[in-house]
Amino acid sequence: MSLFDPVVARSSIWAPAADGHVAPLADVDPDLVAGLSPDRRSSARREVPVRVVTLPRWRWPIGEAAVDGTHLGSLVVDGILGRELAADDVASIELLGPGDFLRPWDETAHSELLEAVVRWSVLAPLRLAILDRHVAVRLAMYPEIHAALLERCAARARRLAVLQTISQLNRVDRRVLTLLWHLAERWGRVTPNGVVLPLALSHRMLGQLVGARRPTVSTALAELVRSGEVARGECGTWVLTGGPVGAPDPRAVASVVPRRSMLASAQLLSD
């Protein structure tokens, strides 16, 4: 059976007999144990092994029935995972990479009021560290690692907030340029020719990231190339040749104090 069989995929990577290798969590992601003393770091290396599995490029049909609630989650070691949210006639996407901590079965849970659908795709060969319930028990002795995982969740929330702000910029060319700089913060590398963003982002995917249609993104990119702010790299990658963007306009970011409570009174809600 294939790993992506609708039945097998929902349990295989969480089953002890699944393909993969076992390695110390401290070796898989050294930043997670950076807050430990040398002695405790050495203990964690011995006491907290994790299973690391590899997934090829393909759809990842993980569902809410994949695991029980005692599993802690999974940690992206290498590669890129796409989380696509489809609602009505549009789909947005979030890119997840090394260091991201996620509980995908929670995020695909069905909502009774909003019928949006979450789809997961492996966009570059992916390695995941499986933090199952056995790992969760062992991590109880290392609250510093738990704190580091919570920091990863907070960092992901901050990135999502940035994407939300980018999608509200008035002009699509500014959205695209700001997005590229945002992605370069994590994946880019500085070269003599500019900041290289080694992600093969299609115009369609850029549109999903900034909240715009593909033809509009294509027009915006052409303008950015003409103005010298962006250049096309090899194999569909991008080079940022201008300066960083995103400094807030003081006239546009004044805090607005709400005139009334954001929460309706209990009487109104009961009517």
Domains parsed from the chain with CATH numbers: 8-165 (2.60.120.10), 170-271 (1.10.10.10)
pTM of the model: 0.83
Amino acid 17: pLDDT: 43
Low-confidence spans in the chain with pLDDT less than 70: 1-19, 61-69, 108-111, 252-258, 262-271
**What does the CA dihedral 63, 68, 69, 74 come to, rounded to 10 degrees?**
-60
Are the C-beta atoms of 118 and 107 separated by less than 8 Å?
A: yes
Q: What is the pLDDT of residues 85-126, one digit of tens each?
A: 888 888 899 999 999 999 887 776 566 777 788 889 999 999
Are the C-beta atoms of 199 and 188 separated by less than 8 Å?
A: no
Q: Give the ranges where the chain is alpha helix by DSSP (H).
A: 25-28, 38-47, 104-107, 133-139, 143-166, 172-187, 203-210, 214-226, 266-270
